[in-house]
Structure 1
Amino acid sequence: MNMPFTETSLVKDIVNALPKTSDVFKRYRIDFCCGGNTPLITAATELSINMEQLMNDLNEIYTKENNHNDDMEVWTNSSSEDIINHINVHYHTPLLDELAQLSPYVTKVSKVHGSNHPELVKVYELFSVFKKEMIEHTAKEEETVFPLLKELDNPALENREEIVNYIKELEKEHDQVGEILRELREVTYDYKLPLNACGTYTLVYKRLEMLEEQTFMHVHLENNILFPRYM
């Protein structure tokens, strides 16, 4: 799988094409914001970075981002255990990683630009609630609900009503999270950037929009394919 950029690509163009590469650049201390108009090879040379290793790290991000199987027809015909494993690996783990990685950027733009763009303060508040809700939600699913769902194939199981109540609770939490995402889109005017938006500002909006997309796919897989099997 060939990456859509090369050593001569501008750092800012790489981040624009694949926002999560910003985590790699941050780790290497490559300026993708104000210094983003620099070819990748130049930025790496100036910081004495091993170019081969840098490209490998970028390729790892690219591969992860393009390795999701979100064909819902496939999952409709899959076992519940396969769906649960897919959710854990392709949604829960990347979600928790993204929440941790994105959080400092959201905080930074709120502090730096919040006085001129008060909507960013609201973005920070909503993201903080979303982060807390999703960390608790995924833990509940993995530690309690998913193991119970795997037991439902047993016709002798006695606590079926308890498990159905858990599912209803999770669906309510999905609704709450959906409302937070709706508010985020509203306060950002559909993630429309101001003309003077810096690289980090742009990055936050792009990654929040990607987070919204992945969350909707995640919730769809649970609400419309997995949970109805038990209701």
Structure 2
Amino acid sequence: MITFPLSTNTLVKDIVNELPKTSDVFKKFRIDFCCGGNIPLSKAIAENGINEEALLDELRVVFEKNSSTETDLEVWTKSDSTTIIDHVINHYHRTSQEELSLLSPYVTKVSRVHGDNHPELLKVYELFYEFKKELIDHMTKEEEVVFPLIKQLADGTVENREEAINMIVELEKEHDHAGEILRQIRAVTSDFTLPLDACGTYRLVYKRLEDLEGLTFMHVHLENNILFPRYF
């Protein structure tokens, strides 16, 4: 169990595994805890030029708030693979599919109406639709092909273990690319900073894009750092 004082040698992903709420702190400090979570906290601090004391203070607050309550660790670290897969599909896939569909017309409208004065919105439009297509294709592949293979790996009935492992590795590469698109969206929007003339729809788009980023990070973290490593 991870406790305070927290060692900066602890891996970022292990901190999130222990207490998922710390993901909010890492997101605030722009530390990648999903695709890039397999590094010590000290390295993440150094790479991002973060004030170590400020980060540790916020992590400490999260630990203290949750020290006397049971968190959702069963879903994250203790459940069998089928339970985790069902959780990913029902919570992350379905939620992401719905949000991508609902958010699309707003992204289109804002880029069309405000793109002349804010050309970054044209780039947001381009990146969003690239992300949408890739994530939908990715989730379909997971549900129709890879998740069934993982279940076979779990119960020892898979026919070609090497092929199954290779497909998991391919999913991780797709996660990396999705993460890169999200990083580009965050960069081009200056961390979702709204201009003075931002209308209600403009504000809605930035807020929901940031929420979608957080949803995707948690989705990827659950797979990359908890589910997939069981089979390597």
What is the TM-score of this pair, normalised by structure 2? 0.68
Give a deviation string over 1:166-208, Cα, whole Å, max 9, x none: 0000000000000000000000000000011000000000000
Q: 1:164 and 1:91, CA in 2 relative to 1: closer, same or farther beyond 3 A?
A: same
User: What secondary structure sits across from 1:99 in the alignment?
Assistant: helix
How do 1:128-147 and structure 2 match up within 5 A? 128-147=129-148
State the distance in 2 between where 1:71 and 1:91 align: 15
Work out whether 1:85 is the aligned partner of 2:98: no
Percent identical pairs in the alignment equals 68
* Aligned match of 2:151: 150
Report what 2:211 is aligned to. Answer: 210
Instruction: Give 1:75 shift.
Output: 1.9
Question: Counterpart in 2 of 1:179?
Answer: 180
Quick check: 1:167 aligned with 2:178?
no
User: Following TM superposition, by how much is the alpha carbon of 1:156 offset from its aligned partner in structure 2, in angstroms?
Assistant: 5.3
Compared CA separation, residues 72 and 192, structure 1 to 2 (3 A): farther
Over 3 Å counting, the alpha-carbon distance change for 1:72 and 1:112 in structure 2 is farther
Paired with 1:156 and 1:215, the residues of 2 have a C-alpha distance of 30
Q: Which runs of 5+ in 1 are unaligned?
A: 1-69
Aligned twin of 2:54: none
Q: How is 1:53-68 mapped onto 2 (pairs within 5 angstroms)? A: none
Given that residues 126 and 180 in structure 1 are in contact (C-alpha distance below 8 angstroms), is that contact kept between their aligned partners in structure 2? yes
C-alpha separation between the residues in 2 aligned to 1:155 and 1:89?
Answer: 25
State the alpha-carbon separation in 2 of the partners of residues 113 and 92 from structure 1: 31
Go from structure 1 to structure 2 and tell me whether the alpha carbon gap of 1:168 and 1:188 turns closer, same or farther (over 3 Å shift): same
- Unaligned 5+ runs, structure 2: 1-70
State the match for 2:77 in structure 1: 76
State the partner residue of 2:106: 105
Q: Provide the C-alpha distance between the structure 2 equivalents of 1:80 and 1:156, rounded to a whole number of angstroms.
A: 14
Aligned partner of residue 159 in structure 2, secondary structure: coil
Q: Which runs of 4+ in 1 moved over 4 A?
A: none
Q: Cα–Cα, structure 1 residues 108 and 72, in superposed 2: closer, same or farther, change >3 Å?
A: farther
Residue 135 of structure 1: CA displacement?
0.6
- Number of equivalences: 163
For the residues of structure 1 that align with 2:119 and 2:226, how far apart are their CA atoms?
39
What TM-score does the superposition give when structure 1 sets the normalisation length? 0.68
Residues 85-118 of structure 1: CA distance to partner in whole angstroms, max 9, x if unpaired? 0000000001000000000000000000000000
- Do the aligned residues in 2 keep the contact of 1:72 with 1:221 (CA within 8 Å)? no
The residue type equivalent to 2:151 in the other structure is K
- Change in 2 beyond 3 A, CA 1:215/1:119: same
Query: What is the match of residue 226 of structure 1?
Result: 227
Q: Distance in 2 between matches of 1:210 and 1:95?
A: 10
Q: 1:81 to 1:194 in 2, by over 3 A?
A: same
Aligned-pair RMSD on alpha carbons? Answer: 1.5
Give the corresponding residue for 2:192. Answer: 191
1:220 CA displacement: 0.0
Larger Rg: 1
Change (3 A) 1:78 1:129: same
Q: What is the distance in 1 between the residues matched to 2:223 and 2:181?
A: 18
Q: Distance in 2 between matches of 1:71 and 1:181?
A: 26
